[in-house]
Structure 1
């Protein structure tokens, strides 16, 4: 897909992978609708538009979708489901509220946003949905059972969705990044972000690559890992 003039909705736009993806989309000519609870600091561009949205709230998602189409145009070409969070802890001491928070954000929010755009993408017979999953969606991780459970859900949703909508000209790509140097690790005890990890720009570049594939095929699952991780 040539991204010039295409409308891309991007959730979790304020920092990390979301911020880097917004900048990459803009660099390739897209019109970016950034959805999030917080606007990215200092990101000012004539083709960037911020819409306040808590993806955990389906009504808020619907409002952001209506506002996006009213301000930017009826067609929606790209959705990047990036919003998410991780909370660590052993199962027997894990907060039920934290468990619900992760599922509301990582799974339910992704579903609400995807559901919002599908009718228009089917009408167009064109669209691309990118779901940011994690290596945690492919293997269990000690003291990260809740986060892994949400990402396994994203994996299953993505693999089912692509089979459901491929006949409508809609691509679905699920990315599984390994360790990436973002603020994700701020709340994970015993793990600190470091320069040997992948960079947010690496994930953003892969998203652009997937979006620019020719119409006749799409990349379904992409696993990414740092080459020389810090021991």
Structure 2
């Protein structure tokens, strides 16, 4: 897809992978609707539009979508479901509220956003949804059971959705990044973000690559890992 002039909705836009992806989309000529609870303070661009949104709440997603199409038009070409979080802890001591927070953000938010954009994409017979899962969506990790469960859910949702909408000209890609140097690890005991990890720009560039594939095929699943991780 040529991204010039195309409308791209991007969740979790304020920092990390979301901010890098917004910048990458803008560099390709896209019109970016950044959804988040906090506006990125250092992103100023005539084609960037911020819409306040808490993806955990369906009403907030519906309001953000209504505001987006009112301001940018009825066509939506790209959705990048990037908003997500991880909370670590053993299962037998894990707070139910933390479990629900991860599922509300990582899983339910992805569902709400996909459901919002699909009618427009079906009318167009054109669209691309990119869901950000994780390596944790492919294998279990000690003391990360809740996060793994939520990212496994994103994986299953994405693989089911692509089969459901492919005949409508809609692509669905699920990314499984390994460790990325972001603030994700601030609250994960025993792991510190470091320069041996992938960079947010690496993930953003990969998203652009998947979006620019020719119309006749799409990348369904894509795993990414650091080449020389810290020992």
Please state if 1:184 is matched with 2:219: no
Equivalent residue number for residue 70 of structure 2: 70
CA distance in 1, matches of 2:136, 2:84: 13
Equivalent residue number for residue 228 of structure 1: 228
1:147-226 correspondence runs (5 A): 147-226=147-226
**1:136 Cα offset (Å):** 0.1
CA distance in 1, matches of 2:77, 2:197: 31
Q: Which runs of 5+ in 2 are unaligned?
A: none
Equivalent residue number for residue 60 of structure 1: 60
Equivalent residue number for residue 112 of structure 2: 112
Residues 74-96 of structure 1 show CA distances to partners (whole Å, capped at 9, x for unaligned) of 10000000000000000000000
Equivalent residue number for residue 123 of structure 1: 123
**1:41 Cα offset (Å):** 1.3
What SS does the corresponding residue of 2:75 show, helix, strand or coil? coil
**1:141 Cα offset (Å):** 0.1
Please state if 1:92 is matched with 2:97: no
CA distance in 1, matches of 2:49, 2:120: 20
CA distance in 2, matches of 1:75, 1:119: 10
CA distance in 2, matches of 1:134, 1:42: 27
CA distance in 1, matches of 2:65, 2:104: 18
**1:228 Cα offset (Å):** 0.2
CA distance in 1, matches of 2:61, 2:179: 29
**1:212 Cα offset (Å):** 0.2
Equivalent residue number for residue 48 of structure 1: 48
CA distance in 1, matches of 2:92, 2:69: 45
Residues 27-69 of structure 1 show CA distances to partners (whole Å, capped at 9, x for unaligned) of 0000000000001111000000000000001001000000000
Equivalent residue number for residue 35 of structure 1: 35
CA distance in 1, matches of 2:17, 2:70: 27
What SS does the corresponding residue of 2:191 show, helix, strand or coil? coil
CA distance in 2, matches of 1:190, 1:197: 15
The alignment yields a C-alpha RMSD, in angstroms, of 0.3
Equivalent residue number for residue 12 of structure 1: 12
Residues 164-205 of structure 1 show CA distances to partners (whole Å, capped at 9, x for unaligned) of 000000000000000000000000011000000000000000
Residues 191-226 of structure 1 show CA distances to partners (whole Å, capped at 9, x for unaligned) of 000000000000000000000000000000000000
Equivalent residue number for residue 134 of structure 2: 134
